[in-house]
Structure 1
Amino acid sequence: MPLELNEHTATLSDVVTVDEVEPLVAWLRATAKPKVNLRRCNHLHTGALQALLLFQPRITSAPVDAFLATQVLPLLRGSSGVSSAESEPP
């Protein structure tokens, strides 16, 4: 399941497609101080990326995927303030 929504944290896993964008946006709108875990995400639809850029949730775990970690995470870090210590794998 690519999108797991909990009370304060969303976990994005594997391939996040256009089908997950609407539920993600609804969750981001409804959640105070949302947090997003990208550790297991391998692909992020541009609509999901736009939602993350718009709502600026705190990124709690960086993606392991090299492209997302090097090209996408820096865009999200600018607004979320995730530290390098938080983004390293356990």
Structure 2
Amino acid sequence: MPLELHDDSATLIGVVTVDEVEQLTAWLRGSQRPRVSLRRCNHLHTGALQALLLFRPKVSAAPKDAFLAAQVLPLLTGSSGPASRQGTEPP
């Protein structure tokens, strides 16, 4: 199961597909202070990403997946991307 949902915390596991977007969105909508662990997630459907961007839950654990960590995590946490951390601006 790609989603483990609890009262105010969720763990996204493996491949989160379009099939999980509605359930994730409903959970995010109903949670007072949602926290999401991405540590075990290695693929995130764009619909799930859009839900996370809309509701802005706290990311309690960063993804181990290199792409998600470098490209998606900065969008969710509001931190600067890899180019900014290296002291260069993107083209």
Name the TM-score, length of structure 2 as normaliser: 0.85
Paired with 2:7 and 2:71, the residues of 1 have a C-alpha distance of 28
2:28 aligned partner, one-letter code: L
Name the TM-score, length of structure 1 as normaliser: 0.86
Q: Secondary structure at the match of 1:36?
A: strand
Alignment gaps of 5+ in structure 2: 80-91
Following superposition, the deviation at residue 46 of structure 1 comes to 0.1
Matched, 1:38 2:38: yes
Paired with 2:45 and 2:3, the residues of 1 have a C-alpha distance of 12
Q: Secondary structure at the match of 2:26?
A: helix
Counterpart in the other structure of 2:88: none
Paired with 2:23 and 2:69, the residues of 1 have a C-alpha distance of 23
Paired with 2:50 and 2:27, the residues of 1 have a C-alpha distance of 14
Give the % identical residues: 72
Matched, 1:62 2:62: yes
Q: Secondary structure at the match of 2:52?
A: helix
Q: Secondary structure at the match of 2:39?
A: coil
Q: Secondary structure at the match of 2:32?
A: coil
Alignment gaps of 5+ in structure 1: 80-90
What is the root-mean-square deviation in Å for CA atoms of aligned residues? Answer: 1.0
Larger radius of gyration: 2
Paired with 1:7 and 1:33, the residues of 2 have a C-alpha distance of 9
How many residue pairs align between the two structures? 79
Paired with 1:52 and 1:29, the residues of 2 have a C-alpha distance of 10
